[in-house]
Structure 1
Amino acid sequence: MTTYLGALAIIALSLALLMALAWVVRERTGNSGWVDTVWTFSVGLVGAGSALWPVFGHAPNARQWLVAGLVALWSVRLGTHIAIRTKGISDDPRYAAFAKEWGFDAPRRMFIFLQNQALGSVPLVFAVFVAAHVPEPALRVQDFLGAAILLIGILGEGLADAQLRWFRQDPVNAGQVCDVGLWRWSRHPNYFFEWLCWLAYPVIGLATGYAWGWASVLAPVFMYWILVHVTGIPPLEQQMLRSRGERYRAYQARTSAFFPLPPKAMVKGVTA
């Protein structure tokens, strides 16, 4: 137990320090988009490091290397995507709205906000740690199943991001709401597939007689809460309603918010 609690403490401290760095980058550049870039690479770095953490003096086994590779792959894909997007904007509208609301107290409150984000990320990284340290030396079928789930999540999120980018690049779609491809089935398919990635860790981490494995369930639970109720859907949809108005309200009425579902039929502007 001491080893696991020690790892939990180091994970929390590492994330706190890295999100303090994200605050410095945000203050220096004035572009809050770099916050999400730093967060993604931080979770990947600390996650991969925790996966390879030697327990009881043993060298990392195949499962540890597998889990480290999975979280690193997720981090590089998403972090690179966010970094490229951030280079093309002056600020992230979600964080900019927070800063405007906070006024002169924005720097202090942003620091606290990012430290809370670091704290909320601890269950995610700890899930990676406990999944990597399942006390069975050989890889099992569920290890490969977890890897497949994460790869599907990465591919789905990448496809959703690409479809949105292609839609925005067409001048004909200026001012319109993207409702093609995966975006016809979910208002936030990229968030759904992001959540799916974190479902991989309880699939890997749950094992008979391994009580710590239940901590891996916190990853998809916390990610769902963050995306659906905190920093994901709520501020983004407020921004979309301000910029797209009734077009986005109609899109909300016919399209599932998170889980991909067939769109509702519209009859004279009313959902059927």
Structure 2
Amino acid sequence: MDNQSIVSLVIYSLLACCGIMVIVWFWAHKIKNAGVVDIFWSYNFPVIAIILLLFAPGFETRKLLICSMVIIAGFRLGTHLAVRITKHLNEEEGRYQQLRNEWAPNAEKKFFFFFQFQAISNVLLAIPFFIITLNTAKQLSPFEYAGAALWLISVLGEAIADAQLAAFKKNPDNKGKICDTGLWGYSRHPNYFFEWLMWLSYFAFALASPYGYLAIISPAIILYLLLKVTGIPATEAQSLRSKGEAFKLYQQKTSVFIPWFKRS
């Protein structure tokens, strides 16, 4: 692994992501809605992918494949979040309202550092992409084909889950109700499951490259965050506050994470 190349690529990526998040923080501060950070957290991965595509020294076909995967997935998720969040820019999402209350009276200052941490997490989670795009081997491996296939399944699964939830919320008859149709009838968080599966696909793809085993860091971090920190705990806490007993009943009927397991 070329240490000089990877250090330069990490620095470029950090500067780009942190710079973007500074601009996003100013916008969030102006509109009093920290939820916009989610949009640009997703968009930062395509930014990193473009940097790697342009400057990483790896095999061009491999770079084009993995960077295309990252750009497509990041742009899809970021745009989905942008459509959802910009519909109620004047109404901050519940979990960010909770943080704002907990961090008062220094909420804006703490949100600045929170946004910068999100940028750093972009680069940390991009470890598989750095490893893959430094690989100069001229032939693709079965690991890379398997990773690409798993990525396709995960992106389609997440897109389906997002579309099902969006369609449910769009129906005025469902106002105040809990989405329990489609994949949401089996898992309370099928979108999170497929998001994690996508990161697992990047690990599988990276196994064909030198030091590829280090890429396990990314799906491990994502799984921890989803299960223990900012994903499922925050989302379910907000659902319990807003939906109460109805959500407790939904919890009893569905799996927390894996969408093909349904409780009897």
Normalised by the size of structure 1, how large is the TM-score?
Answer: 0.88
Q: Secondary structure at the match of 1:257?
A: coil
2:51 aligned to 49, 52, 62, which one?
49
Instruction: Spell out the pairing of 1:33-48 with structure 2 (5 A cutoff).
Output: 33-48=35-50
Matched residue, 1:76: 75
Instruction: Spell out the pairing of 1:59-208 with structure 2 (5 A cutoff).
Output: 61-89=60-88, 90-207=91-208
Q: CA deviation at 1:51?
A: 4.3
Q: Secondary structure at the match of 1:177?
A: coil
The Cα offsets for residues 200-247 of structure 1, whole Å up to 9 and x where unpaired, read as 211111137x12x12221121111122222221111111100111011
The letter for the 2-side match of 1:14 is: A
1:21 aligned to 5, 19, 23, which one?
23
Q: Call closer, same or farther: CA 1:87–1:190 in 2, change over 3 Å.
A: same
Q: What is the percentage of aligned positions where both structures have the same residue?
A: 35
Matched residue, 2:225: 226
The letter for the 1-side match of 2:188 is: R
Matched, 1:239 2:241: no
Q: CA deviation at 1:52?
A: 4.0
Q: Which of 166-175 and 193-202 deviates more?
A: 166-175
Q: How many pairs were matched up?
A: 260
The letter for the 1-side match of 2:224 is: W
The letter for the 2-side match of 1:189 is: P
Cα RMSD (Å): 1.8
Q: Are the counterparts in 1 of residues 192 and 257 from structure 2 also a CA contact under 8 Å?
A: yes
Matched residue, 1:269: none
Q: Are the counterparts in 1 of residues 5 and 56 from structure 2 also a CA contact under 8 Å?
A: no
The letter for the 2-side match of 1:48 is: I
Q: Are the counterparts in 2 of residues 49 and 68 from structure 1 also a CA contact under 8 Å?
A: no
Q: Are the counterparts in 1 of residues 9 and 56 from structure 2 also a CA contact under 8 Å?
A: no
Quote the Cα distance in structure 1 between the aligned partners of 2:157 and 2:254: 18
Structure 1: gaps of 5 or more residues: 266-272
The Cα offsets for residues 37-68 of structure 1, whole Å up to 9 and x where unpaired, read as 1111112211332244232xx7x510001111
Q: Call closer, same or farther: CA 1:52–1:66 in 2, change over 3 Å.
A: farther
Q: Are the counterparts in 2 of residues 51 and 67 from structure 1 also a CA contact under 8 Å?
A: no
Q: Which of 134-143 and 176-185 deviates more?
A: 134-143
Quote the Cα distance in structure 2 between the aligned partners of 1:154 and 1:181: 16
Q: Which of 10-19 and 173-182 deviates more?
A: 10-19
Matched, 1:5 2:7: yes
The letter for the 2-side match of 1:219 is: S
Structure 2: gaps of 5 or more residues: none
